[in-house]
Structure 1
Amino acid sequence: MLTPGSATAEPAGRITGIGGIFFKSKDPKALMAWYRDVLGVKVESWGGAALPYDAPQHPPVLVLNAVKAGSDYMEPSKREFMLNFAVDDLTAFLDRLKAKGVAILKRDDSDASGTFAWIVDPDGTKIELWEPKAEPAAN
């Protein structure tokens, strides 16, 4: 990748992004149906979802971060991972989830990077929903 002011590209053989998230479930078909029916994730015929990076209003990056063992950040989930989905309108999305009987664990409108809310899927995986702060309009 060329960066401003650099004359050479990075060498081949490097990570360019996360290609997927895989996790175990007692009932994968039912769980993916929940992601489709409740969260609106388009599930493909092969059973999973392909979420494009270039979706409208999607953040330009996917975050990968480790959380200290023993942290309560993923509670009440007992899983060792958490999913984060970017959304275009958190309030509207939460209203849809509430109408489908999904409990909202918490909402946080105070973060500099945007607004957040948390839910749990039927397998007990905590899901973080993030509406990124709008980019200032270019002049």
Structure 2
Amino acid sequence: MKRVTGIGGIFFQARDPVALIAWYQEHLGIDVQPWGAAFDWVDDAGNPTKGTTAWSIGAAGSEQFAPSKSTFMINYRVDDLDALLQALRDEGCDVLEKADDSEYGKFGWVMDPEGNKVELWEPPEGQ
């Protein structure tokens, strides 16, 4: 079974998210929208391929990453979320019971050994 197939998103918290977003826009040229930014995937020749990596800054202290105390969370793309979550449980990993299934795909979470919340995402068909 394939496990992680790519990075679906990078999310982090900031003490002053408005100022930090402005810095990334001005100095790194990231086109940040109210929800964050998206980086489309390309192959070695620069041709578009299926996939996007989301990038977003939120306010420090939000509960989005709970139960982690970390200020970041990485979202990894997976092919079969249910099978992977079961494999992680079987391997003794700390898989969170909550899972989401929405128009954006299926989401599940596992805590790594350092207490970081890791988001696993199975995109909807065709994405």
TM-score by length of 1: 0.54
Letter in 2 for 1:88: D
Deviations 1:49-71 (A, max 9, x none): xxx976xxx95111101122221
C-alpha change, 1:78 and 1:72, in structure 2 (3 Å) is: same
Q: Structure 1, residues 8-33: CA drift from partner, whole Å, max 9, x if none?
A: xxxxx956xxxxxxxxxxxxxxxxxx
Residues 56-109 of structure 1 show CA distances to partners (whole Å, capped at 9, x for unaligned) of xx9511110112222101011111101110000001111110110112212112
Q: Is the 8 A contact 1:82 1:126 kept in 2?
A: yes
Structure-2 separation of matches of 1:102 and 1:113: 25
> 2:60 touches 2:71 (CA, 8 Å); kept in 1?
no
1:113 is the counterpart of 2:97: no
Normalising to structure 2: TM-score of the pair? Answer: 0.58
CA contact (8 A) 2:103 2:124 kept: yes
Taking CA–CA contacts closer than 8 Å with sequence separation of 6 or more, which of the two structures ends up with the larger relative contact order? 2
In 1, Cα distance between equivalents of 2:42 and 2:80: 17
Corresponding residue pairs, total: 85
Identity over aligned pairs, percent: 42
The runs of at least 4 consecutive aligned structure 1 residues that moved more than 3 Å come to none
Residues 1-139 of structure 1: pairs in structure 2 closer than 5 A: 60-105=51-96, 106-109=98-101, 111-135=102-126
**CA RMSD across the alignment:** 2.6
Letter in 1 for 2:99: R
Cα distance in structure 2, aligned partners of 1:122 and 1:114:
26
Paired letter, 1:127: V
Tell me which amino acid in the other structure corresponds to 1:107.
A
User: Structure 1, unaligned stretches of length 5 or more?
Assistant: 1-12, 16-51
CA distance change for structure 1 residues 98 and 64 in 2, over 3 Å: closer, same or farther?
same
Work out whether residues 65 and 73 of structure 2, in 8 Å CA contact, stay in contact via their aligned partners in 1: yes
Asked whether the 8 Å contact 1:59–1:86 carries over to 2, the reply is no
CA contact (8 A) 1:115 1:130 kept: yes
